[in-house]
Structure 1
Amino acid sequence: MDLVLIRHPEVAVDAGVCYGQTDVPLQRDARESASALTARMKALNVPPCVDGWHASPLVRCASIARALGGDVHPDARLAEMHFGAWEGRAWDAIDRALIDAWADDIAHARPHGGESLAQFAHRVIAWFDATCVDERAVHVVAHAGVVRVLAAHLLGVARESALQWPLDFGGIAWFRRVRGQWLLVRWNA
């Protein structure tokens, strides 16, 4: 089984803004971005999408999934982490003590009033457990947080560690299950 995860392309938001579940638009046309992604997937020999695209319902993901073609299966469990009162605010405008409190217990702290990393991971992994049940390839357009949480889950590494892994806008993470074990085929391709 193959699991192909694509982070949405760049968004029309100023750098340094926390936008989590805020529904922000893409910076470029979705069709243009989808065309570039399709060419890259073909060059990487990514298995073709047969059963449609699973996607976060947020426009920056759903619009790419639609532009990639085929059926689209939006699922709220694939939305980015909810940052509560921090949504839409510049990171450097958030009280440093609150950010430090969050960093001190990244798994469970919720100083923003949104989701903790544990809550976020629980819903993302619930999607995975319900969806990735057979040998059909699954293709997803989602967010950096979703991709990193799934990578940590599949590879058995600490979530806190995977949150630090670089993942470009439009980056592709491709996993393959072989004899019951998940292998990383490509990261940030």
Structure 2
Amino acid sequence: MKFIFIRHGETCANIDKLIYGITHSEFTDNGLKQIDKILDYVRLQEVDYFYSSPLKRTQIIAEKIQECIGKKAQFIDEIGEMNYGIFEGLTSDIALQKYPDAYNQFMNDYKNYVIPEGENVLDFDKRVISFIDKIKDKEGTSVIVTHGGVIRTAIMHLLNLSSEDRWHFKILPGMIIEIEYKYEYGVLLQMINN
């Protein structure tokens, strides 16, 4: 399988440095330009499978890609961004000020700590990996419109890296990441920054 992961374009929450996973945020002007560059890239690809996170910021892009390639997206819950619960929509400073115990516990044990009204990284990874494992041995090319956290987890899994290695990859808004996965071995082909 050739994986083409597409992170949604820049949003106002990205600019404001908010913690957000499931919360919607509108695209910036730059984010809208990034969508146009994503469409220019996708037009040139042979796409066998097309998946998207069901969150609004990815649905918007998926609908534009559908028009471009003539193939409907399958909206997959497992590749939605992590739910940051009580931290959603807050800056790190405000989250620390408003929920000091919860924020410190999350920062000290982010993999295991379940954010109140949210989830933890271990469960998030499990759901993303579960979906990737269902499709990774198929022939062809998959376009997956999703989020930075999902892409980091997918990279970690497909390249057989440790959980901590995810932080070596900066997945910017509008970025496109290509990974070839064959014979139980993943290769990072390119990272395109729009």
Normalising TM by the smaller chain, what interval?
0.7 to 0.9
**Displacement of 1:27:** 2.3
For the 8 Å contact 2:179–2:188, the answer to whether it is kept is yes
In structure 2, C-alpha distance between the alignment counterparts of 1:106 and 1:84, rounded to whole Å: 13
In structure 2, C-alpha distance between the alignment counterparts of 1:3 and 1:134, rounded to whole Å: 11
What residue in structure 1 maps to residue 25 of structure 2?
A: 24
What residue in structure 2 maps to residue 10 of structure 1?
A: 10
More helix by share: 2
Stretches of structure 2 that go unaligned for 5 or more consecutive residues are: none
1:61-80 equivalent positions in 2, closer than 5 A: 61-69=58-66, 70-80=71-81
Q: TM-score, length-normalised on structure 2?
A: 0.84
What is the DSSP-based 3-state SS (H/G/I as helix, E as strand, rest coil) of the residue aligned with 1:173? strand
1:102 equivalent in alignment to 2:106: yes
For the 8 Å contact 2:18–2:92, the answer to whether it is kept is yes
**Displacement of 1:106:** 1.9
The counterpart of 1:142, out of the listed 142, 146, 155, is: 146
CA pair 158-112 structure 1, distance change in 2 beyond 3 A: farther
In structure 1, C-alpha distance between the alignment counterparts of 2:137 and 2:120, rounded to whole Å: 27
Q: Which amino acid aligns with 2:184?
A: G
1:1-189 equivalent positions in 2, closer than 5 A: 1-13=1-13, 14-28=15-29, 33-40=34-41, 47-51=45-49, 53-69=50-66, 70-95=71-96, 96-189=100-193
**Displacement of 1:159:** 2.2
CA pair 41-18 structure 1, distance change in 2 beyond 3 A: same
In structure 2, C-alpha distance between the alignment counterparts of 1:8 and 1:145, rounded to whole Å: 12
Q: TM-score, length-normalised on structure 1?
A: 0.86
What is the DSSP-based 3-state SS (H/G/I as helix, E as strand, rest coil) of the residue aligned with 1:149? helix
